[in-house]
Amino acid sequence: MKLVKSLLLGSAAGLIAVGGAQAADLPVKAKAVEYVKICSLYGAGFYYIPGTDTCIKLGGYLRAEVALNTNSDFSGQFSSNNGSRNRLSNYYTARAREDLNIDTRTATEYGVVRTFFDGVFSWTTGNYTGTGSGFGTTAYSGTIAANTNPGATTTGLFGSGSGSVNSTDGNTSGGSLGVYYAFIQFAGFTMGKAVSQFDAPWTNYPGNNFDGLVGGSGTVTGILQFTYTADFGQGITASFSAEDPTQYMQAGNLNVSLGAASAAGLPGGAFGANAIGGSRSPNLVAALRVDQAWGLFQASVAAHDNHVAYYGVSEATGHPDDKWGWAVQLALSIKNIPTGAGDTINISGVYTDGATRYNFQNLAGSTYSIFGTSGAAGAYGSLGYASAPDTVYTNGSNQESIKTWGFRGAYTHNWDPYWNTSIYGAYAQAQFGTLGKTAICASFVAALAPTAGAAGCNPDFAVGQVGLITRWTPVKNLTFSADVAWTHLDQKNSGLITLPTLAATAKPSAVYELKDQDSVVLLLRAQRNW
The DSSP line for 433-463 is -HHHHHHHHHHHHHHH-PPTTT-B----EEE
Q: What is the DSSP letter of 43?
A: -
Cβ atoms 260, 277 nearer than 8 A: no
Cα–Cα distance, 462 to 492 (Å, whole number): 9
6 in any annotated domain: no
Count Cβ atoms within 10 A of the Cβ of residue 485 and give its class: 0-12 exposed, 13-18 middle, 19 or more buried. buried
Give domain status of residue 10, yes or no: no
| φ, ψ dihedrals at 302, nearest 5° | -145, 145
DSSP 58-115: EEEEEEEEEEES-SSTT--S-SHHHHH-SSSS-SEEEEEEEEEEEEEEEEETTEEEEE
Cis amide leading into 121 (omega within 30): no
Q: What is the DSSP string of 247-316?
A: TT----EEE--TTSS-TTTGGGT--SEE-B---SSPEEEEEEEEEETTEEEEEEEEEEEE-B--SSSSGG
Is the distance from CB of 499 to CB of 41 less than 8 angstroms?
no
pLDDT of residue 170: 54
Q: Which amino acid is at 414?
A: N
User: Is residue 204 situated within a structural domain?
Assistant: yes
Model's pTM, two decimal places?
0.85
Neighbours of 369 (CB within 10 A): 27
Contact present, 399 and 323 (Cβ < 8 Å):
yes
How far apart CA 485 and CA 465 sit, in angstroms, is 7
Distance CA 192, CA 316 (A): 39
Q: Would residue 309 count as lying in a domain?
A: yes
Per-residue pLDDT of the chain (530 residues; tens, 9 = 90+): 444 444 343 444 443 344 444 444 555 555 555 678 999 999 999 999 998 999 999 999 999 999 999 887 777 788 877 788 888 888 888 999 999 999 999 999 989 999 999 999 998 887 777 655 554 445 555 543 333 333 333 222 322 233 333 344 555 556 889 999 999 999 999 999 999 999 999 999 999 999 999 999 999 999 999 999 999 999 999 999 999 999 899 999 999 998 888 888 898 889 999 989 988 999 999 999 999 999 999 999 999 999 999 999 899 999 999 999 999 999 999 998 999 889 999 999 999 999 999 999 999 989 999 999 999 998 999 999 999 999 999 999 999 999 999 999 999 999 999 999 999 999 999 999 999 999 999 999 888 888 765 568 999 999 999 999 999 999 999 999 999 999 999 999 999 999 998 888 888 999 999 999 999 999 999 999 99
Three-state SS string over 491-503 comes to ECCEEEEEECCEH
Instruction: Kindly report the CATH number assigned to the domain that includes residue 491.
Output: 2.40.160.10
**270 in a structural domain:** yes
Q: Judge whether 480 and 420 are in contact, CB under 8 Å.
A: no
Please give the residue range of the domain that contains residue 491. Answer: 36-529
Domain count, the chain: 1
- The pLDDT of residue 415: 96
The answer to whether residues 467 and 208 touch, using CB atoms and an 8 Å cutoff, is yes
- Residue 22 included in any domain: no
> Is 15 contained in some domain?
no
Give backbone dihedrals phi and psi of 425, rounded to 5 degrees, phi first.
Answer: -160, 165
Neighbouring-strand partners of residue 246: none
Nearest to 220 by CA among 412, 364, 389, 49: 364
CA dist., res. 254 & res. 507, Å (int): 26
Total Cβ atoms within 10 A of residue 410 = 21
SS3 174: coil
Beta strands in 126-235 (DSSP E): 127-128, 140-141, 155-156, 159-160, 176-186, 189-194, 223-233
Q: 64 - beta bridge partners? A: 96, 526
Question: For residue 27, is it within any domain?
Answer: no
By the 10 Å C-beta count (0-12 exposed, 13-18 middle, 19+ buried), 4 is classed as exposed
